[in-house]
Amino acid sequence: MLNVRAEMRVIYGIILMIFFLFLVLPLGILVVRSFEGSQGFDIYNYVNILSNSELMTAFANSIKISSITAAITTILAFLIAYAFHFTNIFKPLKSAIKVGILIPMLLPTITYGFAIMYSFGNQGLITQMLGEPLFNIYGFNGLLLGYVIYTLPSAFLLINNSFSYIDKKFMIVSTLMMDSSMRSFYNTILRPMLGTLGGAFVLSFILSFTDYGIPASLGGTYSVVATQLYQVMLGTIPNFSDGAVIAVFMLLPALFAIILLKYLERFNFHYDKFTPIDIIQNRVRDSVLGFISIGVVVGMFSIFLVMFIAPFLTNFPYNLTFTFQHFVNVFTTSGLSIVYKNSIIVAIFTTVIGIVIAYCSAILNTRTSLKGRGTFDLVSMITNTLPGMVLGLSYLLLFNESSLKGTFIIIIFCNIVHYFTTPYLMAKNSLSKMNPTWETTGGLLGDSWFKTIYRVILPNSASTVTEMFSYYFINSMVTVSGIIFLVSAQTSLVSSEIKELQHFAKFNEIFVLSLLIFCTNIVVKLICDVIQKRQFQKT
């Protein structure tokens, strides 16, 4: 590996400063504020919250519903990923399932809630088709449905990815060793996947525990921590200290998750190589799993269907004449088009600066012998489970008195830090696979370190950078929980505007804005996919 150079230290210093300012300091202030009372520092706030039965109920509710969500999501994601890798389901159908299951990722969670309302509510599209409401959507049922839809794509991606690193040759060994199908399944599928399944469970739990969008629209009387935090902070009488305490409580499962994920790592094992094998014919298995996968995707699709129908009708479900009026309204009301512009600006800056930070961190971590390069792994571990709402709230506490208050800058950095883990790991993964002597080779051929990075390293990870782009962009378009405390009248974004429109029951506008986000994300995703494919073909 290359000797440490001054320029590496400079970049390291800058990134460390950024994380100090936008991660360590805000969280520190959050903890300090949680102990701050009218008579100095004490644990009165905690005692107060712990004796508040309403909040404790919300906390218990959150844990309960997030656990159930995580269990359902992990099982469903496993089944679908299994169908994807180990059945002979018709190839185009497989692709359709893979695309279909990822659709929710392109929408803010708050939209799911409204889509569920318009599908399963008393006047909903699906209710109308079935003749009567299936279940009461406000409260537990609706939340559960929303959370599962929200967490399924991420859990699926995780498990699906892990499946491709399973050495399928072990199935031959298992067959030759006369394993029963149960034993074979355990030893060749379940056991190698155990760590990932645990990871998917933890991920789904954290996502639903900390999401604000779904309970904001569907919560009803079933109170969860996220809505409680919002009310305490932005209700009629904001209480910053109580908010800080609740945020600290929200961090507890995140801490627990970090420990659990660390523990789960020992279940992962590494195969020397991966051999693809022909999948054995089994019609029953294929049809059952195919049916489940299609069922889930179609189910999800049917819920979102209303979003594509309602805004084109005068007054769904009462007046079903076709109209463009709602779209015209959104685009002619200057307020809403400015909001859309804001979202795009934030997404672009988040993406560009985010990529630079994540990519540089990954380079320093994997391709230099810099002291303290492990810090970035620690940071990515923290941001992995850190709830967006907690991060946003801590920014609010830290920057409230500063000139950064109400600027795009804090929103952008909140997004960058909030979504740091995945792009960082993507870059790290790709950079660590590259030949470790490239920098030395470049140096011997007369390149400076920067020049080798630019001429050799960067072109060889172009595909990864594209992937990072689409991840940062899409997430910064859809996030609600991270920015809900940070937007001002001047910096309001589409996803937070949807929350505002809910107050005025302007559901058509909500769907129009959701469609805007959706279409923007689809376009970005498609462009990135095409670029990625090209890069892939080149190498």
Residues that bind other proteins (CB under 8 A): 167, 169-170, 172-173, 175-180, 183, 187, 191-192, 269-273, 277-278
Spatial CB neighbours of 110, under 8 Å, sequence gap ≥ 6? 212, 213, 214, 216, 217, 480, 495, 498, 499, 502
> Measured from the CB of residue 414, what is the shortest distance to other proteins in angstroms?
41
Side chain identity, residue 72: I
Given the structure tokens 């960067």, which residue do they identify?
458
Phi and psi at residue 313, to the nearest 5°: -110, 150
- Residue 335 CA to residue 102 CA, distance in Å, equals 31
Instruction: Identify the DSSP state of 266.
Output: G
Query: In angstroms, what is the minimal distance from the CB of 265 to other proteins?
Result: 14
Selection from 56, 31, 414 nearest residue 225 by Cα: 56
Nearer to other proteins, 178 or 237 (CB): 178
Instruction: Name every residue whose Cβ is closer than 8 Å to that of residue 414 and which is 6 or more positions away in sequence.
Output: 22, 388, 391, 392, 395, 482, 483, 486
Q: How far is the CB of 269 from other proteins (least distance, A)?
A: 4
Distance from C-alpha of 358 to C-alpha of 376, rounded to nearest angstrom:
9
Is the Cβ of residue 191 or residue 262 nearer to other proteins in the bound state? 191
Structure tokens, 270: 């590494």
CA dihedral 452, 458, 460, 462 (to 10 degrees): -170
Q: Please, which residue, 168 or 367, has the CB nearer to other proteins? A: 168
The 3-state DSSP class for residue 313 equals strand
- In the bound state with other proteins, the residue whose beta carbon lies nearer, of 171 and 250, is 171
Contact between 247 and 394 (Cβ < 8 Å): yes
Amino acid at residue number 74: T
Q: Between residues 175 and 432, which has the closer beta carbon with respect to other proteins?
A: 175
Q: Which is nearer to other proteins, 285 or 525 (CB)?
A: 285
Nearest to 80 by CA among 65, 109, 100, 103: 100
User: Closest distance between other proteins and the C-beta of residue 94, in Å?
Assistant: 20
What is the separation of C-alpha 200 from the centre of its chain, rounded to a whole number of angstroms? 12
In 87-108, which residue ranges form alpha helices assigned H by DSSP? 91-102
Nearer to other proteins among residue 271 and residue 324 (C-beta): 271
Query: By C-beta, is 43 or 280 nearer to other proteins?
Result: 280
Of 24 and 177, which CB lies nearer to other proteins in the complex structure?
Answer: 177
> Which of helix, strand or coil describes residue 321?
strand
CB of 194 to other proteins, least distance (A): 9
Minimum distance, C-beta of residue 179 to other proteins, in the bound complex (Å) = 6
Smallest gap from residue 271 Cβ to other proteins (A): 7
Least separation in angstroms between CB 171 and other proteins = 10
CB-based contact 80:292 (threshold 8 Å)? yes
* SS3 state at 480: coil
CB of 473 to other proteins, least distance (A): 38
Give the count of beta carbons closer than 10 Å to the beta carbon of residue 320.
12
Residue 187 CB, nearest distance to other proteins (Å)?
Answer: 6
* Cα–Cα distance measured from residue 428 to residue 451, given in angstroms and rounded to the nearest whole number: 20
Q: Which residue's CB is nearer to other proteins, number 269 or number 504? A: 269
Token pair 């656990």 is at which residue? Answer: 67
Task: Decide: helix, strand or coil at residue 504.
Answer: coil
User: CA 531, CA 527: separation in Å to the nearest integer?
Assistant: 6
Please report how close the Cβ of residue 200 comes to other proteins at its closest, in angstroms. Answer: 19
Q: With respect to other proteins, which residue has the nearer C-beta, 272 or 401?
A: 272
Residue 317: helix, strand or coil by DSSP? coil
Q: How far is the CB of 170 from other proteins (least distance, A)?
A: 6
Q: What is the DSSP string of 100-158?
A: HHHGGGGS-HHHHHHHHHHHHSTT-HHHHHHSS-SS--SSHHHHHHHHHHHHHHHHHHH
For residues 169 and 455, which CB has a smaller minimum distance to other proteins in the complex?
169
Which residues touch 207 (CB under 8 Å, ≥6 apart)? 147, 150, 151, 154
Closest contact distance (angstroms) between CB of 431 and other proteins is 25
- Judged by CB, which is closer to other proteins: 192, or 482? 192
In angstroms, give the least distance from the CB of 165 to other proteins. Answer: 12
How many Å separate Cα 491 from the centre of its chain? 22
Contact 179, 142 (CB under 8 A): no
- DSSP code at position 237: S
Q: Which is nearer to other proteins, 192 or 387 (CB)?
A: 192
